[in-house]
């Protein structure tokens, strides 16, 4: 990707893309109710994700390529393999196969408007009054292919620039190694340019040339703000960083049952600073999940404290 070649919106039309394995269920690959329950419990133990019985076809379709790659002829034989204690790597590949990764730049724009209009001015004012350091730490939990943390990084680079002494870092985590590899590269189809405001596109993205034509790439200064890492949100002991000024965990908790959702929300709240902010998806209501979290408006929570948001 040639440096200095700013991306342009004029080179593509928006279309939906995601990281799903779009494999139809092969007729020879079947799973009995008893075997599906075994996979169900194994996946839940590994991730906190609960697959309902309606996901039988999804399980067969998503695992077909793994069975073919391993030359295994049935899901029963695959389960006997993947359930072995020494098969952590294969269990990670299984999770990669069954997880859905759908995201885009500036998804749920109201949340980013709230950041620009309310949160970032507050942080700047507090820093000017020496009530906080010029240091910001943000966690993107369930970052998928990277559009979310890169969106946040671009906003912070614009409004809290390093030239003014701001030290901004983002931790971006996901359970899928496959999708994290894609996120680290920061390369996307040029159709994604339609999701970005023109000024952000010009300032923070590069347009591919020659063999990279048809792609855009996140500029290196934005990539360097983000640390991508595999993490299981259902296991609170895996994260030692924090506390964070804000956490994005959007459209992740909908895959959890009540028990694993409560564990995850407790973990998220524990890693927030007092008066820190938690952003979730529109289908996720946390009011009964944690006494530490107070709703500011739909999908935006703050960790309880006497201090109010301006």
Q: Which residues are identified as catalytic?
A: 62, 174
20 vs 241: CA distance, rounded Å: 30
Q: Give the residue among 142, 123, 162, 112 at the shortest CA–CA distance from 300.
A: 112
159 vs 150: CA distance, rounded Å: 14
Question: Residue 301 class from Cβ within 10 Å (0-12 exposed, 13-18 middle, 19+ buried)?
Answer: buried
Q: Give the residue among 221, 218, 150 at the shortest CA–CA distance from 6.
A: 218
292 vs 305: CA distance, rounded Å: 9
169 vs 105: CA distance, rounded Å: 18
Residue in the structure block whose two tokens are 């092969």: 26
Inter-helix orientation angle 56-70/88-98, to 10°: 130
Q: In what order do the strands lie in the sheet with 167-174?
A: 226-230, 167-174, 135-141, 244-249, 272-280, 300-303, 293-297
State the number of CA atoms in the 13 A half-sphere of 160 facing the CB: 26
Contact yes or no for 190/216 (Cβ under 8 A): yes
What separation, in Å, do the N-terminal and C-terminal C-alpha atoms of the chain show?
42
**Local structure of residue 210 (DSSP, 8 states):** G
**Local structure of residue 307 (DSSP, 8 states):** P
């Amino acid at each position: 990707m040639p440096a200095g070649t700013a991306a342009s919106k004029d080179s593509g039309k928006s279309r939906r893309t995601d990281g799903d394995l779009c494999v139809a269920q092969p007729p020879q690959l079947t799973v009995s109710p008893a075997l599906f329950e075994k996979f169900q419990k194994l996946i839940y133990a590994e991730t906190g994700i609960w697959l309902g019985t309606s996901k039988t076809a999804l399980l067969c379709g998503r695992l077909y390529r793994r069975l073919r790659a391993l030359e295994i002829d049935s899901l029963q034989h695959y389960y006997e393999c993947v359930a072995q204690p020494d098969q952590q790597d294969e269990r990670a590949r299984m999770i990669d196969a069954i997880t859905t990764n759908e995201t885009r730049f500036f998804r749920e724009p109201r949340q980013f408007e709230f950041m620009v209009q309310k949160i970032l001015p507050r942080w700047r004012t507090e820093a000017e009054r020496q009530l906080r350091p010029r240091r910001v730490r943000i966690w993107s939990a369930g970052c998928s292919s990277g559009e979310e943390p890169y969106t946040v990084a671009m906003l912070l680079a614009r409004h809290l620039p390093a030239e003014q002494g701001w030290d901004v870092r983002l931790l971006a985590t996901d359970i899928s190694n496959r999708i994290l590899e894609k996120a680290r590269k920061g390369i996307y189809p040029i159709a994604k340019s339609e999701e970005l405001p023109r000024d952000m596109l010009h300032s923070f993205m590069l347009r591919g040339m020659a063999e990279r034509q048809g792609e855009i790439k996140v500029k290196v200064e934005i990539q360097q703000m983000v640390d991508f890492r595999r993490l299981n949100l259902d296991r609170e002991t895996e994260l030692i960083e924090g506390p964070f000024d804000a956490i994005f965990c959007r459209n992740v908790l909908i895959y959890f049952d009540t028990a694993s959702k409560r564990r995850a929300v407790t973990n998220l709240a524990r890693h927030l600073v007092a008066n820190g902010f938690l952003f979730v998806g529109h289908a996720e209501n946390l009011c009964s999940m944690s006494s530490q979290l107070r709703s500011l408006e739909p999908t935006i929570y703050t960790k309880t404290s006497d201090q109010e948001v301006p």
